Structure 1
Amino acid sequence: DAWTYLRETTRGEVSEDRLRAYLEKAPEMARYLSEHTRAEFVSLPEYADYYQRVPGSRPGGRCLEPKNFDASLLGDEFLNMREQNYQMLIMKRIFMTVFEARTMLCRTPGWIRITMRLMARYWLDIPWRFKSRRDRNLAMGNALVGMLRRSLMDRGIPIWLNAPARELIVEDDRVVGVAAEKEGKTIRIRAEKGVVLAAGGFEGNQAMREKFLPNPTRAEWSCGNRHNTGDAINMGQALGAAIDLMSDAWWGPTSVVPGEDHARMLVIEKSLPGSILVNKAGERFVNEAAPYIDVVNAMHAKNSPEKPCVPAYLVFDATFRKRYPCGPILQASQQPDWALPGALKQGYLKKADTLEGLAARLGIEATGLEESVRNIN
C-alpha cells in the first residue's frame, strides 16, 4: 500500500529507486533513533494520508509524532533553541501535541480536561517560570530537536553556532571537507568519510525565490527558518551538482501577522465551515478543504493580472468568528472583537455588516464576492 501511494502521489517525478530507498530506510532510521538516542515517537492513528482517494492511502497510523521532552535536560543549551512558531502554541507559550490540539479544536470529549491540564502544568511549574516564559514541556518539532540535541550532548558531540559553511573543499575531483567561518576566521574542516549537505531550503533567500519559485514571492511570507538561504544548494551548484524540483516546495497558505517575526500557516482555519478563500475579483477559486499544498498550487495556477490570487483573502461569517480561532485571533467566545490588540483590529481583521462593505474594506470586487457567497450557501 505504501509503495502504491507514494508512486501515485509523486506522479513519476521521483525515481522508483528513490521511492524504494525511502520505504526501506525510513523505518530503519526511526528504529535507530528510538533504540540509540533519546528520541521517542508515537503513532497518530487518526492522522490520515492527505489524498484519501489515491490507491494505497490509509485513514491514519503512518505519521509519527515525538513524545513530549523536558527542556530542563538541555541545561543552558535550551536558550539556543529557536522558539516554536506561535501558531503551534497556546497563548504563544504553551505546547500541545497533535492529539491535544485536535481534541481541543474539535471539542471532542475530554477537551476541557486537556485544556485545564495544559494550563495547570504550565502555570504551576513555578521554579521554571522564574527562569523563562517558554514552556519546558516541549512538543512536536521542538521536542524532536530537544531529544536530538540532548543525544549529541550524551555523546559529547559539539554543535558550532554562528559558523556558516562557505565552500566545499575539493581534492582530485572529490569533496574532502568544508571551509567554514568561525569567530571571524576561515576554518578548513577535513571529513574522514564524507560531507553531508543538510542545510534545508532557501525560503529566506529572496533572489533564489524569485529565480526558482512561482512569482510573486516574498521571504516574509514563509513560516520557515529565515536563515535557510540556500547555502548548501549554492555550494553544491558551484561544483556542478544537479538540482531538481526547484519550483516545488512544502507549500501552505500563510498569514503575515503584525508584530510577529514569522508568518502563520493556515492549516486548519482554511478548512472550517463558514469560510471561503477568494481572489482579488472576489471569486472562490479553490476547495479550501484540500491539502494545504494543493491550495497554494491553485493560487499559483490561477493567478493572473486580471484576477490575482496572490494574495488571497479568507472571508468568514459571524458564526465562524464565534466558534473558531483564526491565526492569532481566538474565537469570539473567548476573545471578542473589543479585546483584540489594536494592530489586529486596525489592519489585520477587517469587518463589515454587508458583503459589499467588506469588499470595499478589502479592496476586492463586491459582485464577485456576493456571487461566491451565494454559490457556497
Structure 2
Amino acid sequence: MLTLDLGQLVYTSFPDQGFQTLSSADVPEEVKQVFLTQVVYKYWNSYAPPQPGYRAAYLAQISPELTLFGWMYNQGDDDLGRSHIPYFIAYCLSGVLDNPLLDTIYACLERGPVTFIERHRVSSDLHRVVIDQIDDLQPTLPGVMIPSGTRARCRLLLNKGKLLNFSVAIPGESELANGKENDPQMPQETSADALVPDVDNQPLLSSLERLLESPRITLDSMTRVPTTKNALLIGVSHCEHGFEPLPGVQQDIAVMKQVLENPKIAAFDEVQTLLNPNPQILAESLESFCQDRDIDDLLVVYFSGHGVVLDDHGRFGLTTSMSRTNSKGKVVRSTLVSADLLQDILNDSKAERQVVVLDCCYRQTDTSANNPHLGGVNLPQYLGGWGGRL
C-alpha cells in the first residue's frame, strides 16, 4: 500500500458556534466550498436525515489532481437539542489518481478515519494526516465496505480519464431489518451484506426475481452485452403539507436494491439509492448518474413516491421532500422535478439502454382536474426516447 499525505476537513455542529467547517491550514478556500457543495449538501438531507447509527463513505474527485474522500455519520443531538446532527470527515489528496492509489483509498475507507474532532472540544488547528501502513491503522470510527461493483465502475472511469464520484451507505438502526444481532458500530460489521437490508416482503421479492430471470426480458438478452449495468433508486416517502406519507417507499427501495445487486439475479455493477431528496439534490443526482456513460451502458432510473399531473397535456412531475400545496390547495410546482427535465437529462446521456420505472400514482393539479377528457400522464411523449427507454 502507498503512503497517503492528506489535508483534513470536518463539518458538524459545534457548541455556541453552530455548523462549521474546520480544515488544516493547507486546504484552499475553494476546496472547502467544493466540500460543502459536492459532499455535505449533496449527501445530507436535513429535511429527511438518515436514522441514528447511519454511516457512509464517499469519494469526490474535484479534478484529475485533487480528490476528496471520507465518511459521514449521524451523530445524534447537539447542545441546542437539534437531532440527527451530521458529522463529515474528509481527507484531501493532492496528486494524480491511479489504480494503486485508488486501492489504498478503498482500504482506508473500509478501515475508518484515524482522526476524530470532539464537538465539545473545538480546535481550529487541524493537522495534516499521514497514513503509512493501512494494516496498522487504528480507526477512531468504523468504516464502510466498498462493493466490488463500485470498484469496477471506478476502475473503468479512471482508465478513461473520467472524474470519480460515489458514496456507499450503511443504514441506520431503524432502517435495518429485525433480527440483526451484530453491533452496528463495530468496524467488522461493514460487510457487503450489511449494505442490503433483509426485506420482509417475500411475495414482492419473489415476483421481482421471476421477472428478472424471465428469458424473454433478461437484462443480458440484448444484442450487445452492456458494458456496465447501473441503477438509481429514488424514494420519496415524506413530502410537506398536502401530501400523504408513503411509509412503504423505503421497503420498495430496499427490495429493488436487493434484487439488482444479487449476483445470481441481476448482478448490477452499481446501485445508488436516494431517499427523500429536495428538488436540487434530485435534479443534480439524476444528471450526475446519467453523465459520463458509454453507449453500451445500461441505465435504470426507479422512482417510488407521489407523481403530479401538471396540465391537460399529460405533462407531469415527481415529488421531492419539499413538495407541498399552498394555502389554496394548489401544488407548488417549484418543489417538483418535471418529467421534461428528466427527459432532457436522459437524452443527453450517451447510454443507449435506458429504463425508467415510475412506481407511483398521479395526483392532479387544479388545471388537470378540471379537464374531464384528461386521459392521464403521457409517458411516451415525456419519457419516450430513441435509446430503448421504457
TM-score if structure 1 supplies the norm length?
0.26
Higher-helix-fraction structure: 1
User: Larger relative contact order (C-alpha < 8 A, sep ≥ 6)?
Assistant: 2
